[in-house]
Structures are given as structure tokens and as C-alpha cells.
């Protein structure tokens, strides 16, 4: 099961009823978090997220509403039972930021693996898989994470995550090959097995072809440009900034390198995504849902989420 939770929907500063924008994704006991502004760990607890399952933290940029909650989040992960290691990836300069913020939370029971990403060109890295023994569970899913440099007032990255799905297991094929039941799971995870009679059985012998990856796009704090749509192409879910519903705010947003609801909708349409969630609302945007009818004229499958909004993409 793959579940996505939008932990908060606010930009700039937390409000009494709106946490700062952050996302939690979990599949098969492995969780990824994007951004950690002030209070993110509280938003995670309200959404009943499992702290010990967070293995990767992606940081978009170093403005306070996206990173100042790091010490509290790390301490909450420790109190939640996390061990092993936590990968933290973000723009160049991340190590300096993490080292400064973690002065107040020394002695964490897990390793911090800090990875600085290119802020001039798109970059891709693979995350997960059973080969990395520093994680705590063997059958870890595999993700491709693409970082796209955005157009903000400071170096900023958008993230496009693809979950690689194993082929469909065919128990009939396994039965015909006289594979013992206890080896089904091993084969389904992609490993080769040797039967007692010496025959070697590969995954391809007991599956029915490849499945399309599940793709999630996440882009906040940027002026709109078409390369975002290129990278979000046919995403199952696209989470995108929309600071204001009113197009009269366009000049102000252009100056500050942010997006309007309509900008996000046009990108979603150009990318042919399945669903768009708007987020990162201005503190002055008190009732974002009022803008939903207009934005749906541009992209019909648009959602104005609330804090803790969730969706299961794979059951």
C-alpha cells in the first residue's frame, strides 16, 4: 500500500489551524518526508504517521518555513524509536544547515547521511532496495528520486518520486514449476531461488511482466515554467504551490517567485497528471476552497486539501 499525506498546507508561517507545507509518503513500512518547517513533527503525530519508518527527508530549500523544524523532527524520530540511518537530501549547502540546526539535538540514535544535490541541473538518485544494509528492514521498496532546480529567490528543488513496482506474481506459474510456497515471497521480491532438485528459478519465470511505476511530483516556492510540467508528465499525483486564488496577485507573485492557483492548474494540464493538490497557501488566503470552482475550469481534477489530507495510491 502506498499512502500520501499532506501534513500541512501553509506557507511563510504556521497558523493556529494550518501547519506549514510538508508531505509524508509511506509504502511497505518505508516513509519519505519532504520539508520540515516549524511544527512538522506535531503535524505528523496528528496524522498518525509512524516516526520510526522515516528513512529519507528531502529539503526543497533553506527558507525557515521549510527547514526550521528539523531539530524537533529529529528528536521526535528518536523518541519514536528510529534507529539505523536517515538520509537527508537537499540543495548544496545542506550540510552546513544541518550541522547548525542539530547543535541542539546531539546524540541521536541514528546516523545522518547528508546528500547535497545539484542546484543548476536536474539530478536523479535511487533510494531503497535490500542491498543497503544500513536500513532496518530487508524488503525495502526502490524509488527513483529526481530533483529539479526551481526558480525561487534562493536555490530550491522540486522532487519527482517514482516507486518501482515489482512485476505481477503469477502463483500458477510457480505451482507448475513446483516452487515451494515458502519461496514465493523471495521470488516476488526479485531474488533468484534454487530448488532442492537443483533447478534455478528466476523472477521472470513466475511473473507476468512489468508494471508502470507510481509517480508523485512535488513543487513549491517557484515561479511557473514549463520544465516543471515536463518532469511531472503523467504523474499519478502532482502537489504544487498555489499562494493565492486571485489572479490579481500575479505581479506580486512574479516579484516573489511564487505561483497562483491558475499557474499550478496550467502546469498540471500541460503535464497530463491524474490529480493536482494545491498547497503552500498564503496566510492571507483564509478560505482557499473559495477558489476551487475557478481553478477547476483550468484543470478539472484539482483538490484544495486540508492539513492531514491523505490518499492511498496503491492498495
Return the active site residues: 65
> For residue 189, what is the DSSP state?
T
> For residue 226, what is the DSSP state?
H
Matching residue, cell 509524508? 24
Cα dihedral across residues 287, 299, 19, 119: positive or negative: negative
Give the C-alpha separation, 1 to 309, whole Å: 17
What is the pairing mode between strands 302-303 and 276-279?
A: parallel
Give the C-alpha separation, 175 to 163, whole Å: 29
Give the C-alpha separation, 278 to 280, whole Å: 7
Q: In a 3-state reduction of DSSP, which class is residue 311?
A: strand
Q: Which three cell numbers stand for residue 208?
A: 507476468
Closest CA to 77 of 90, 66, 88, 65: 88
Q: Which three cell numbers stand for residue 121?
A: 541541473
315 C-beta neighbours (distance < 10 Å), count: 6
Inter-residue contact 116 to 91 (CB < 8 Å): yes
Closest CA to 73 of 94, 96, 90, 56: 56
Cα dihedral across residues 262, 158, 71, 309: positive or negative: positive
Give the C-alpha separation, 240 to 92, whole Å: 23
> Distance from first CA to last CA of the chain, Å, rounded?
5
Q: In a 3-state reduction of DSSP, which class is residue 251?
A: helix
Amino acid at each position: 500500500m502506498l499512502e500520501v499525506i499532506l501534513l500541512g498546507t501553509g506557507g511563510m508561517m504556521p497558523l493556529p489551524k494550518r501547519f506549514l507545507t510538508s508531505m509524508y509518503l509511506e509504502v511497505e513500512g518505508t516513509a519519505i518526508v519532504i520539508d520540515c518547517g516549524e511544527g512538522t513533527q506535531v503535524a505528523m503525530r496528528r496524522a498518525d504517521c509512524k516516526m520510526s519508518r522515516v528513512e529519507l527527508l528531502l529539503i526543497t530549500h533553506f527558507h525557515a518555513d521549510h527547514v526550521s523544524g528539523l531539530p524537533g523532527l529529529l528528536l521526535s524520530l528518536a523518541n519514536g524509536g528510529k534507529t539505523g540511518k536517515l538520509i537527508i537530501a537537499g540543495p548544496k549547502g545542506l550540510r552546513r544547515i544541518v550541522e547548525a540546526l542539530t547543535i541542539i539535538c546531539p546524540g541521536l540514535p541514528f546516523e545522518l547521511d547528508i546528500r547535497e544535490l545539484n542546484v543548476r541541473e536536474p539530478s536523479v538518485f535511487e533510494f531503497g532496495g535490500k542491498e543497503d544494509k544500513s536500513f532496518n528492514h530487508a524488503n525495502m521498496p526502490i524509488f527513483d528520486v529526481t530533483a529539479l532546480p526551481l526558480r525561487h529567490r534562493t536555490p530550491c528543488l522540486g522532487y519527482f518520486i517514482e516507486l518501482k513496482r515489482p512485476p505481477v506474481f503469477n502463483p500458477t506459474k510457480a505451482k507448475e514449476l513446483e516452487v515451494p510456497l515458502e519461496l514465493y515471497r523471495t521470488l516476488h521480491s526479485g531474488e533468484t531461488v534454487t530448488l532442492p532438485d537443483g533447478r534455478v528459478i528466476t523472477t521472470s519465470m513466475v511473473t507476468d511482466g512489468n508494471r508502470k511505476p507510481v509517480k508523485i511530483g512535488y513543487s513549491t516556492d517557484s515561479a511557473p515554467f514549463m520544465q516543471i510540467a515536463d518532469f511531472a508528465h503523467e504523474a499519478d499525483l502532482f502537489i504544487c504551490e498555489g499562494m493565492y486564488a486571485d489572479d490579481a496577485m500575479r505581479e506580486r507573485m512574479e516579484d516573489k517567485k511564487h505561483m497562483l492557483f491558475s499557474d499550478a492548474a496550467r502546469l498540471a494540464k500541460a503535464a497530463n497528471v491524474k490529480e493536482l493538490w494545491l498547497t503552500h497557501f498564503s496566510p492571507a488566503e483564509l478560505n482557499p476552497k473559495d477558489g476551487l470552482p475557478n481553478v477547476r475550469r483550468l484543470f478539472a481534477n484539482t483538490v484544495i486539501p486540508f492539513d492531514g489530507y491523505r490518499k492511498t495510491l496503491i492498495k
